[in-house]
Amino acid sequence: MPLVRCTKDGKRGWKVKNTNNCYTGPGAKKKAYKQWQAIELDKKKRGKPSEFGYYVEPTEEMQKAAQNALTLREEYRMGGESPTVLSLGQDIAEGNPIPKDMLEAERKKRKKWKDSSKCCKINWGLLGGDYAIAESNA
């Protein structure tokens, strides 16, 4: 994961590895993740490699699964509690390129729960559902 714990003015927070900006308070982890995404997209535009390997373009089926999951998330007010899962889901729904290693790591963590509850099904959908790239170590 590109995020690490940090301390700023005596408060615990989150930051992107190898950067100085420490986010604290509500939404700190999501802010740090968004900063990391911006850094990674800038690398991609300049042709530099991602810290997490190469990027994948979400398929149309993945986009539909993520869009449906975002709709269900709003309707039922559950799923996507993890800033990483939510941000990946939003990127997949929009068709943005995403780091393959990060997607696979998140899917591997959640695969065993994909059929256990409505919340878990929504999270699985945010990660592209059953249409996403097959995990290399699943």
Q: Do residues 98 and 86 lie in contact, with contact meaning Cβ atoms separated by under 8 Å?
A: no
Question: Across residues 65-88, what is the average pLDDT?
Answer: 83
Instruction: Report which of residues 44 and 53 the model is more confident about.
Output: 44
Question: Across residues 50-62, what is the average pLDDT?
Answer: 76
| Structure confidence at residue 137 (pLDDT) | 30
Q: Which range is most confident: 64-73, 79-88, 112-121?
A: 64-73
Q: What token pair was written down for 45?
A: 């535009």
Model-level pTM? 0.61
Helices (H), the chain: 28-45, 60-76, 83-94, 100-110, 118-126
| Structure confidence at residue 134 (pLDDT) | 40
Q: How confident is the model at residue 13 (pLDDT cuts 50, 70, 90)?
A: very high
| Structure confidence at residue 25 (pLDDT) | 94
Calculate the average pLDDT of the chain.
81
Among the listed ranges 17-21, 106-110, 116-120, 130-134, which one has the minimum average pLDDT value? 130-134
**Phi (first) and psi of residue 23, to 5 degrees:** -95, 135
| Structure confidence at residue 116 (pLDDT) | 77
pLDDT per position as a tens digit, 109-125: 888 777 778 888 888 88
